[in-house]
């Protein structure tokens, strides 16, 4: 159950606490292509084994020993973002160090993507969001066996930045700045290589295609049986003048629209020709409508990042990737959309409002600050706009003007959405209406900062965990689970809209919400998310160390905690089989033992979260393949390996 929060959280020293230094007279030489570091003390030579993934600035021999100290907390945080250059040539059988894979665990593969490298061999470091995509695969073929594979996504940017060193190993020299980073060892001023498609944010297997997605470019297709990169996939295939002309006609009207059209026409060739941005950016978050058996994706225009107008296009594909539906909407507001939702009749967008930062833009173009500094949040409105965009034509949708947003009474920046569904309002005295429920994680405009996500400081090139733990001590500013309730009448007019914490008895910071995927777009009872136990003194809120199971009907919660100096990534639900209850299945989550530099894949019984016997099995990833914190994963019920376990 929920842990009682500590009474006081001392602030984490920023940017760097004092740590134990090497002995006097010691010098440290580091070779990133070897697994040892040679330390010379006076005239004696001592060789100490250090994994090759440790960057030169971090030497584990000098980690502070105390478990409850600000220095320990600082280094624990750094250990979640260590580069891992090693890849597997063949799948590796995983050893169960706790429990065993149950006999009824379904066949399939758990894919997890995220950044794999943050520092090159020439002094440059990257924001985690700019790290090259590193795809991990956990294969389950039945019979209690599992294997692990890991490969870098062979993007065009990765091929440019990776080279073979004199020692025969892979070397890296970052040449692209990336939207969130500023290079040190690479070209900085005048460097126009910004949009580096790193394919590091999400992964999906749909039809016969396995794809890794990023927020600003085409997905990269991966061979599911070999983990080799095939190449980019042009899912939406729209960049011609015909499409642009149609957009202008749809959005035309009035002096303001004419001015925005002109600005867009001037920006497009610059963004595409100079910064190599695609005409349309396919967002990394997709949805799967199980009832219709469709993959839903969303794109926006490149110039939308800089203009007070947003062009959104939704696409629906069947399993053969035949485009079944495409719908476009132009919203006269400057919005930043990362995640979205759907119901049987609507696409749903939360209006995260942004604005152009002119001073930041000048510094960004000159290479003196990250490109993302050209944007800032726009907290000018006290409410949150919610756009209900008609997915299909219906009498209700036809009467409602979708351009007019529904306004939630509080100001929320939406991070991720778990689910949304609509139901007929049978209790409506006027004989009709619809109730829409949305489950999401949200934070405050006062806390969210483009330039500080994950606590990365581009000036010092350090990760500062105090930002993610809110130095002001107000956890309600951080990402937390919320539910939004909307009531529409028969004509589609909004009767009421409310936003509240998902549970009245639980409001601890949480993110990466997920559900049983079979219920996407339909009413669900249970929601799972990563959260913090509240037992750590110096890292009270993030990184997450627990999985929470929330009953969305009665608001009760149960949780499982990884333990001391252990952290977790995104949880994902795997159904035990067909015909079972909503929580009849397992939760997969990666456990990071930062003090030992080990990763485990933990299998939890979804029904038993909150009990002492929730852990079904722990599968240990070999130490030399310890990997950094992942972003988003996908459970593929197809087992595609060509070789037997």
C-beta neighbour count of 243 within 10 angstroms? 15
C-beta neighbour count of 316 within 10 angstroms? 19
β-strand partners of 139: 109, 147
Cα dist from 449 to 22, 155, 527, whole Å: 36, 28, 27
Give residue-wise pLDDT tens across range 165-214. Answer: 777 778 999 998 889 998 886 666 677 788 889 999 999 999 989 999 99
CB 302 within 8 A of CB 271: yes
The tokens 């995509």 sit on which residue? Answer: 133
DSSP state of 153: -
**Cβ within 8 Å of residue 88, ≥6 positions away:** 148, 149, 150, 151, 227, 625
For residue 338, say whether it is annotated as part of any ligand binding site. Answer: yes
Domain residue limits, the chain: 79-636
For residue 637, say whether it is annotated as part of any ligand binding site. Answer: no
> What is the rounded radius of gyration, in angstroms, for the C-alpha atoms of the chain?
24
CB 598 within 8 A of CB 621: yes
Distance CA 489, CA 100 (A): 52
Dihedrals phi, psi of 566, to nearest 5 degrees: -125, 140
Give residue-wise pLDDT tens across range 539-565. Answer: 999 999 999 999 999 999 999 999 999
The tokens 């409001």 sit on which residue? Answer: 507
CB 580 within 8 A of CB 561: no
Q: Does the CA dihedral 577-583-585-588 come out positive or negative?
A: positive
For residue 334, say whether it is annotated as part of any ligand binding site. Answer: no
Distance CA 348, CA 480 (A): 19
Q: Could you tell me the pTM of the whole model? A: 0.87
Q: What is the pLDDT of residue 426?
A: 66
Distance CA 292, CA 616 (A): 33
Distance CA 572, CA 574 (A): 7
For residue 50, give the 3-state DSSP assignment. Answer: coil
Q: What is the pLDDT of residue 168?
A: 72
DSSP state of 556: -
What residue ranges of the chain have pLDDT lower than 70?
Answer: 1-68, 185-189, 238-256, 273-274, 394-398, 426-431, 471-473, 639-645
Structure tokens given for 636: 């593929």
Q: What is the pLDDT of residue 641?
A: 54
For 168, left (φ over 0), alpha (ψ -120 to 50), or beta? left
**Cβ within 8 Å of residue 255, ≥6 positions away:** none
Give the chain's largest Cα–Cα span: 90
DSSP state of 48: E
Type and span of the H or E element at 415 = strand 413-424
C-beta neighbour count of 135 within 10 angstroms? 25
**Cβ within 8 Å of residue 80, ≥6 positions away:** 543, 567, 592, 594, 628, 629
Q: What is the pLDDT of residue 474?
A: 77
CB 215 within 8 A of CB 201: yes
**Before 15, cis peptide (omega within 30)?**
yes
């Amino acid at each position: 159950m929920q842990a009682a929060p500590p009474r006081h959280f001392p602030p984490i020293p920023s940017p760097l606490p004092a740590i134990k230094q090497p002995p006097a007279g010691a010098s440290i030489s580091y070779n990133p292509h070897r697994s040892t570091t040679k330390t010379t003390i006076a005239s004696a030579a001592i060789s100490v084994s250090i994994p090759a993934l440790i960057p030169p600035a971090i030497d584990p021999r000098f980690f502070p020993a105390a478990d409850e100290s600000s220095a320990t907390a600082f280094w624990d945080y750094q250990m979640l973002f260590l580069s891992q250059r090693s890849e597997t040539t063949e799948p590796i059988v995983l050893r169960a160090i706790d429990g065993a894979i149950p006999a009824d665990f379904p066949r399939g593969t758990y894919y997890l993507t995220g950044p794999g490298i943050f520092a090159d061999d020439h002094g440059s470091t990257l924001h985690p969001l700019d790290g090259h995509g590193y795809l991990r695969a956990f294969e389950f073929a039945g019979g209690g066996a599992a294997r692990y594979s890991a490969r870098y996504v062979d993007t065009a940017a990765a091929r440019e930045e990776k080279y073979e060193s004199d020692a025969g190993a892979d070397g890296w020299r970052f040449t692209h700045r990336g939207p969130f980073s500023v290079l040190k060892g690479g070209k900085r001023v005048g460097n126009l290589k910004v949009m580096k498609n790193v394919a590091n944010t999400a992964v999906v297997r749909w039809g016969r295609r396995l794809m890794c997605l990023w927020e600003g470019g085409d997905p990269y297709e991966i061979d599911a049986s070999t983990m080799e990169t095939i190449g980019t996939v042009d899912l939406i295939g729209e960049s011609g003048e015909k499409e642009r002309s149609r957009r202008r006609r749809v959005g035309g009207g009035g002096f303001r629209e004419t001015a925005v059209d002109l600005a867009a026409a001037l920006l497009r060739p610059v963004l595409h020709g100079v910064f190599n941005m695609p005409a349309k950016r396919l967002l990394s978050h997709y949805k799967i409508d199980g009832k219709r058996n469709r993959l839903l994706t969303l794109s926006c225009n490149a110039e939308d990042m800089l203009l007070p107008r947003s062009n959104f296009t939704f696409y629906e594909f069947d399993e053969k990737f035949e485009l079944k539906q495409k719908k476009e909407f132009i919203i006269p507001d400057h919005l930043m959309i990362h995640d979205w939702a759907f119901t049987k009749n609507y696409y749903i967008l939360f209006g995260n409002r942004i604005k152009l930062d002119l001073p930041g833009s000048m510094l960004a173009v000159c290479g003196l600050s990250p490109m993302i500094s050209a944007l800032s949040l726009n907290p000018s409105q006290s409410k949150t706009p919610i756009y209900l965009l008609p997915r299909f034509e219906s009498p209700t949708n036809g009467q409602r003007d979708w351009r007019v947003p529904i306004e939630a009474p509080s100001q929320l920046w939406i991070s991720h959405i778990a689910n949304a569904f609509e139901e007929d309002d049978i209790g409506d005295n006027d004989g009709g209406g619809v109730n829409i429920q949305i489950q999401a994680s949200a934070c405050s405009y006062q806390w969210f900062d483009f330039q500080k996500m994950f606590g990365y400081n581009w000036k010092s090139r350090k990760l500062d965990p105090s930002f993610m733990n809110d130095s002001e001590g107000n956890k309600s500013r951080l990402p937390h689970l919320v539910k939004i309730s909307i009531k529409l009448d028969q004509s589609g007019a909004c009767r009421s809209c409310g936003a509240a914490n998902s549970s009245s008895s639980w409001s601890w910071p949480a993110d990466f919400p997920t559900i049983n995927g079979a219920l996407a777009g339909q009413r669900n009872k249970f929601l799972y998310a990563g959260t913090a136990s509240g037992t750590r003194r110096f890292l009270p809120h993030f990184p997450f160390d627990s999985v929470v199971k929330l009953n969305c009907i009665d608001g009760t919660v149960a949780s499982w905690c990884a333990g001391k100096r252990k952290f977790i990534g995104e949880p994902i639900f795997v159904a035990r089989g067909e015909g079972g209850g909503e929580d009849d299945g397992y939760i997969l989550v990666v456990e990071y033992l930062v003090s030992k530099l080990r990763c485990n894949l933990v299998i939890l019984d979804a029904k038993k979260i909150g009990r002492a016997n929730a852990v079904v099995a722990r599968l240990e990833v070999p130490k030399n393949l310890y990997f950094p914190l992942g972003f988003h994963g996908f459970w593929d019920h197809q087992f595609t390996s060509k070789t037997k376990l």
